[in-house]
């Protein structure tokens, strides 16, 4: 890799990192309130992408949409994928996790239920929409907007980073400044005491899932604009994002954002250094290294009860 190529890998890395950060937040929020690795979150991501596919195919854009039409399509895609993601996460919590919570089930049971939900949703999508990968319809022409030291930045990269940053800022505000955020933090710290203080735990948990699902769904749509859709598309981004959440400090929202960025950039640079086929190993390598030397992640755990 030449020194002048650094930006060529850094910019896609930032784009990828922004996506991972948004997905990682979904994991970290749920881990904060339930101490559960929500394996099915990667399927929320996939549902977001497929719902956008359905909506955009239904609207049926021309292969060369006008600027106005492009904006409309992107807005529709964002709205539909966010809603579908939120609905999936909400249902998931209600069907798969709440009955277990009622019964005080061991954490093993939650994890198994999560894996079951993940495989169920994945293969249901595979069955309904075919097991081949497909692409979203053309929403906009991916033109370059400007260039930084000779490296071009495309609309897609700009869109992804902007959307991700907006969501992250919004979430940060929501968690730190609103009443719901206070509830989420309280439940994460000590659910039982929060309940005694009048926090409706069920409602808080359910809304946490909705927030995480909303962001995950949108990330799915944005990912679909970048790469192809398939029913297993959630797996690799999902576990990379979980690794990002752990790297940043699980339960720590700013940590998840940072971890996501870090892993995105590392992954992007590992493909020219180690070869394309090894890029997915890099996230796990970073994960294992971080767990060995700093088990609570870079920024430390914050929301977690047992931290």
Partner 1 sequence: MSTTTKERDLAPTGSALARLRTKRWYQQPMFGRLVGTVAAAVLLDVMSGPQGSREDVFFSLDKTLGSLRVVWWIIGAVALWAILEFAKPLYNRYLAASVGPLERFHAPVTGPVKGLIAQTRTTSANLRRILWVRIGFSAVVIGLLILLPNVLSTFWNQVLVNEVAIYVLLAIGLNVVIGWAGLLDLGFIAFFAIGAYSTAYWTGAMPVEPPFTLNAFLVIPVAVGTCLLAGLLLGAPTLRLRGDYLAIVTLGFHEIIYLIAKNADGFTNGPRGVQGISNFGVHIGVLDYDWELDPVPYWYLLIGIATILIIAFLRLEHSRVGRAWTAIREDEVAASATGVPTVKFKLMAFAIGASTSGIAGVVYASKARFISPESFLLLFSVLVVAYVIFGGMGSLWGVIIGTAFLAWLPQYMKDWVNPNDRFMYLGALLIVMMIYRPQGLIPSVRRKRELSMAKAGLGDADAMSEPAGGRMT
Residue numbers at the binding site for partner 1 (CB under 8 A): 35-37, 53-54, 57-58, 95-96, 99-100, 103-113, 115-124, 126-132, 134, 235, 239, 242-243, 246, 275, 277-278, 280-281, 283-284, 287-288, 291-292, 295, 306
Query: Closest distance between partner 1 and the C-beta of residue 295, in Å?
Result: 5
Query: Closest distance between partner 1 and the C-beta of residue 122, in Å?
Result: 7
148 strand-pairing partners: 151
Query: Closest distance between partner 1 and the C-beta of residue 39, in Å?
Result: 8
For partner 1, which is the closer residue by CB, 112 or 174? 112
For partner 1, which is the closer residue by CB, 173 or 278? 278
Task: Return the number of other C-beta atoms located less than 10 Å from residue 276's C-beta.
Answer: 9
Note whether 28 and 208 are within 8 A (CB).
Answer: no
154 strand-pairing partners: 144
Taking 3-state DSSP, the helix, strand and coil percentages for the chain, each rounded to the nearest 5, stand at 75, 5, 20
Q: Which residues contact 289 (CB under 8 A, 6 or more apart)?
A: none
For partner 1, which is the closer residue by CB, 134 or 226? 134
> What is the DSSP code string of 23-83?
HHHHHHHHHHHH----TTHHHHHHHHHHHHHHHHHHH---SS--HHHHHHHHHHHHHHHHH
For partner 1, which is the closer residue by CB, 58 or 146? 58
Query: Closest distance between partner 1 and the C-beta of residue 267, in Å?
Result: 13
Query: Closest distance between partner 1 and the C-beta of residue 156, in Å?
Result: 22
CA 162 → CA 111, 205, 254, distances in Å?
A: 33, 28, 17
Q: Is 227 helix (H, G, I), strand (E, B) or coil?
A: coil
For partner 1, which is the closer residue by CB, 67 or 104? 104
């Amino acid at each position: 890799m030449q020194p002048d190529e650094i930006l060529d890998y850094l910019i896609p890395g930032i784009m990828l990192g922004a996506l991972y950060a948004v997905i990682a937040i979904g994991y970290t929020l749920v881990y904060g309130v339930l101490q559960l690795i929500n394996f099915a979150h990667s399927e929320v991501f996939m549902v977001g992408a497929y719902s956008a596919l359905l909506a955009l195919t239904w609207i049926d854009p021309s292969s060369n949409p006008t600027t106005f039409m492009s904006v409309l399509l992107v807005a529709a895609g964002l709205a539909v994928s966010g809603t579908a993601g939120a609905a999936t996460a909400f249902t998931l919590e209600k069907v798969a996790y709440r009955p277990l919570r009622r019964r005080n089930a061991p954490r093993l049971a939650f994890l198994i239920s999560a894996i079951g939900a993940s495989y169920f949703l994945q293969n249901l999508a595979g069955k309904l929409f075919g097991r081949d990968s497909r692409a979203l319809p053309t929403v906009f022409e991916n033109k370059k907007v400007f260039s930084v030291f000779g490296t071009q930045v495309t609309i897609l990269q700009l869109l992804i980073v902007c959307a991700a940053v907006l969501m992250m800022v919004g979430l940060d505000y929501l968690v730190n400044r609103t009443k719901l955020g206070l509830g989420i933090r309280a439940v994460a710290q000590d659910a039982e005491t929060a309940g005694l203080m009048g926090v409706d735990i069920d409602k808080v948990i359910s809304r946490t899932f909705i927030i995480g699902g909303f962001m995950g769904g949108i990330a799915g749509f944005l990912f679909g604009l970048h790469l192809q859709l398939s029913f297993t598309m959630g797996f690799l981004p999902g576990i990379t994002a979980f690794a990002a959440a752990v790297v940043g400090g699980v339960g720590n929202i700013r940590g998840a954002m940072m971890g996501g960025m870090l892993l995105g950039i590392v992954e992007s640079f590992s493909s020219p250094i180690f070869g394309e086929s090894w890029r997915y190993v890099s996230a796990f390598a970073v994960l294992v290294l971080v767990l060995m030397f700093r088990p609570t992640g870079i920024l430390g755990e914050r929301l977690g009860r047992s931290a």
